[in-house]
Chains A and B, each alone.
Chain A
Amino acid sequence: MSQLELAGVDVAYGDLPALTGVDLVVERGETLSVVGANGAGKTTMLRTISGLLRPRRGEVRFEGERIDRLPCHRVVERGVIHVPEGRKVFPSLTVRENLELGSYTRAARARRAESLERVFTLFTRLRERAGQAAGTLSGGEQQMLAIGRALMGLPRLLMLDEPSLGLAPIVVAEIFRTIAEINRAGTTVLLVEQNTRQALVLSRRGYVLENGRVVLVGTGAELLGNEHVRRAYLGM
């Protein structure tokens, strides 16, 4: 059984279709990336999985059970944790408070101290800035905080929406290294990126989304070698 399955999912904003008949499978323990242009439906897909949006048609199953009718907090309780586009940290709360809220669910709260230590080890800069308001952090640090906050919730599936957005290349490299490390420690990663090359290099498999439809599926290496991907997304 795959960990996450989307079957024939349609999502629309009013009359405007955003996703059409999307089938997607995420296997336990893999890193999977979804690439595509702006407006292709990548963010919509993640928002549908985490329960922020409801599909018009189709099903979302996590570990065999349907989650597409559950309220957001029930999805989070099952260990599907979404780091949203634009990070959405709580600016006037301190770094530590942000992280504590990451472990709001009952199961996560029980292991708060342990998770906090793990996050501080992974992102040493967050430990240094623990007492600082999150709004005063740099973009890269805020992204680290957003990922750290998600780890506090003990994710079984970690979904990242454009973690490289607006960051300097050296910071992006650091973020991608950390994502690889999180995956090696056993967490499944679903990565949505416009930074196509780096995302595909990091991933075991990838999906290409265009106009709300899945147009290509393959291993990271296959997609990197694909003529269409090379021309449309890698500028070759």
Chain B
Amino acid sequence: MYGLVACGLSLIFGVLRIINFAHGAVMMLGMYTTYWLFTLLKVDPYLSIVVTGPAFFVLGMVIQRTVIEPNRVAAEHNQLLLTLGLALFLENLALVLWQGDFRTVRPPYAGASFVLGEALVEVPRLVACGGAIVMALALFAFLRTTDVGKAIRALAEEPEGALLMGIDVGRIRAVAFGIGSGCVAVAGALVTPFFYVAPDVGESFNIMAFVVVVLGGMGNFVGALLGGFIVGLAESLGATLLPGSLKQLVVFALFVLVLLFRPAGLFGGGRGR
């Protein structure tokens, strides 16, 4: 799950060279969209992906074109503040519109589970995990086989070379931001059957996504996916071995260790940036 959130973030970082703090806020909006579609129109959360995915792809492109692109030449810390400000704006907008109440989406299968060996498997979590893997594979195939996907990879590693190939880099940047936003919105839709919805819900995912991205190596898509598995595993191990909310301790301890010994990320390879 974290993998899919982080994939989008990594994609945006790789192509736009910005740290997108608004990523979690976009996820939150995706979760609210799922919530309202379910509550008002009785749309199944999983079915709503076909609406949220494309809608947030477009929304991401619009955000990139109107907010990020005009400030692309600004100093790096300004761009950080920009995405942070965007996150604050979106969160408070949600607070004004929908109050701070925790809301839940309860489709009939929300509590469904089955026993596998000694473990209790909750169906919604299994679906979310499978969905994330399918999305990630689709994204991977897109980056491998299509011209636009190849242009995204080219732009991430050699911007000037990409310009000289006749690639409209402004458009590619917008598409990358759109894909990142679409991915995280889909991730939001996938978790709503077992996770609460609130204006600040994106923040916890955001922090985890950053851990995952750094673990996997900044801008490395496959690394982000594998990093997601590692963090997810570390978190559940932590939950089993340590009391209560200490479970994240394991994740952050792992994070610090990786930063100390492999600062380029576990899968960062030799390409120093």
Which residues of A come within 8 Å of B, CB atoms? 50, 52, 71-73, 76-77, 81-84, 88-93, 97, 100-102, 104-105, 108-109, 149, 153
Whether A89 and B153, one on each chain, are in contact in the complex, defined by CB atoms closer than 8 angstroms, is no
- Report chain A residues within 8 Å CB of B158: 88-91
Whether A52 and B150, one on each chain, are in contact in the complex, defined by CB atoms closer than 8 angstroms, is no
Whether A73 and B167, one on each chain, are in contact in the complex, defined by CB atoms closer than 8 angstroms, is yes
Chain B 134-174 interface residues, beta-carbon cutoff 8 Å to A: 147, 150-151, 153-154, 157-158, 160-169
Select from chain B the residue with minimum beta-carbon distance to A112.
B147
Select from chain A the residue with minimum beta-carbon distance to B147.
A104
- 6 intermolecular pairs with C-beta atoms under 8 Å apart: A73-B167, A76-B165, A89-B161, A90-B153, A101-B147, A101-B150
- Report chain B residues within 8 Å CB of A108: 166
Whether A90 and B163, one on each chain, are in contact in the complex, defined by CB atoms closer than 8 angstroms, is no
Whether B164 and A81, one on each chain, are in contact in the complex, defined by CB atoms closer than 8 angstroms, is yes
A100 partner, pick from B147, B157, B160, B164, beta carbons under 8 A: B147
Whether A90 and B161, one on each chain, are in contact in the complex, defined by CB atoms closer than 8 angstroms, is yes
| A135 CB to nearest chain B CB (Å) | 8
Whether B160 and A52, one on each chain, are in contact in the complex, defined by CB atoms closer than 8 angstroms, is yes
Whether B147 and A93, one on each chain, are in contact in the complex, defined by CB atoms closer than 8 angstroms, is no
> What total of A-B pairs shows CB separation below 8 Å?
68
Whether B164 and A72, one on each chain, are in contact in the complex, defined by CB atoms closer than 8 angstroms, is yes
| B35 CB to nearest chain A CB (Å) | 40
Which residues of B come within 8 Å of A, CB atoms? 147, 150-151, 153-154, 157-158, 160-169, 271
Whether B153 and A149, one on each chain, are in contact in the complex, defined by CB atoms closer than 8 angstroms, is no
- Report chain B residues within 8 Å CB of A149: 165
Whether B163 and A92, one on each chain, are in contact in the complex, defined by CB atoms closer than 8 angstroms, is no
Whether A52 and B167, one on each chain, are in contact in the complex, defined by CB atoms closer than 8 angstroms, is no
On whether A93 and B154 interact (CB within 8 A), knowing A100-B147, A109-B147, the answer reads yes
CA distance A90 to B163 in the complex (A): 12
- Report chain B residues within 8 Å CB of A153: 165-166
Whether A84 and B150, one on each chain, are in contact in the complex, defined by CB atoms closer than 8 angstroms, is no
Whether A88 and B166, one on each chain, are in contact in the complex, defined by CB atoms closer than 8 angstroms, is no
Whether B153 and A88, one on each chain, are in contact in the complex, defined by CB atoms closer than 8 angstroms, is no
| A43 CB to nearest chain B CB (Å) | 12
- Report chain A residues within 8 Å CB of B167: 73, 101, 104
Whether A101 and B157, one on each chain, are in contact in the complex, defined by CB atoms closer than 8 angstroms, is no
CA distance A50 to B162 in the complex (A): 13
Whether B165 and A102, one on each chain, are in contact in the complex, defined by CB atoms closer than 8 angstroms, is yes
- Report chain A residues within 8 Å CB of B164: 50, 52, 72, 76, 81-84, 88
CA distance A223 to B12 in the complex (A): 51
CA distance A204 to B203 in the complex (A): 64
